[in-house]
Amino acid sequence: MMMSLRRATGLPALLAALLTLLTLAACSPTFNWREVRVESTRLALLLPCKPDKAQKTVPLGGRETRLSMVGCETGGATFAVAVADIGSSAKAGEVLDQWQRLSLANMKAGLPTARPLKLAGALGPVSVVSAEGRSADGTPVRVSAAYFAQGSQVFQALLMHGEAALPADAADTFFSSLTFE
């Protein structure tokens, strides 16, 4: 009698433990979206993981320019936004075209495709440009990026991943979350 009582209480305890493990696993998803504001700009967006920040100086628009970045890596993908102040909104279109061309050339991209992106407050029309190419170490990479400006600030919103497919809603969530507040 005692043995069957232990077995009976052991099974519910095991099921409770399994349920707890499944609940904990569900609480730590690969894409844990959170709102992020890009410093010194009016841009807000969603990132699927805790963001890191970095800055570097790059040649952009014919001069050395400080580029600030915020982004993170999860699920085999990098989600990032870079911003630079080029000093004049009059140069924004030219600088954005140059930035896009250089980015695609650096990854030895094939023919890119583009789809429109609604982004209120951005100067001019915005598109998400997608292409396949190679990373710096030669591995295949897929990139989707939007290039846009507000005032004298130019932006690149970037989603980069390897050959593995991302959930379709990851790219949609990232790009559609871009807003100027």
Same domain, 12 and 39: no
For residue 25, the enclosing domain spans 1-29
pTM check: above 0.85: no
CATH number for the domain spanning 121: value is 3.40.1000.10
Phi, psi at 35, each rounded to 5°: -80, 135
Q: Are 128 and 114 in contact (CB under 8 A)?
A: yes
Same domain, 56 and 45: yes
Q: Please calculate the CA angle 153-76-116 and round it to the nearest 5 degrees.
A: 45
Q: Are 86 and 42 in contact (CB under 8 A)?
A: no
Same domain, 24 and 42: no
CA distances to 51, 64, 84 from 59, rounded to whole Å, are: 25, 4, 11
Per-residue pLDDT in tens (0 to 9) along the chain, 181 residues: 444 444 444 444 333 333 333 333 344 478 999 999 999 999 999 999 999 999 999 998 888 999 999 999 999 999 999 999 999 999 999 999 999 999 999 999 999 999 999 999 999 899 999 999 999 899 999 999 999 999 999 999 999 999 888 887 999 999 999 999 9
**Total domains in the fold of the chain:** 2
* Per-residue exposure over 118-134, b if at least 16 CB sit within 10 Å of its own CB, e if not: ebeebbeebbbbbbbbe
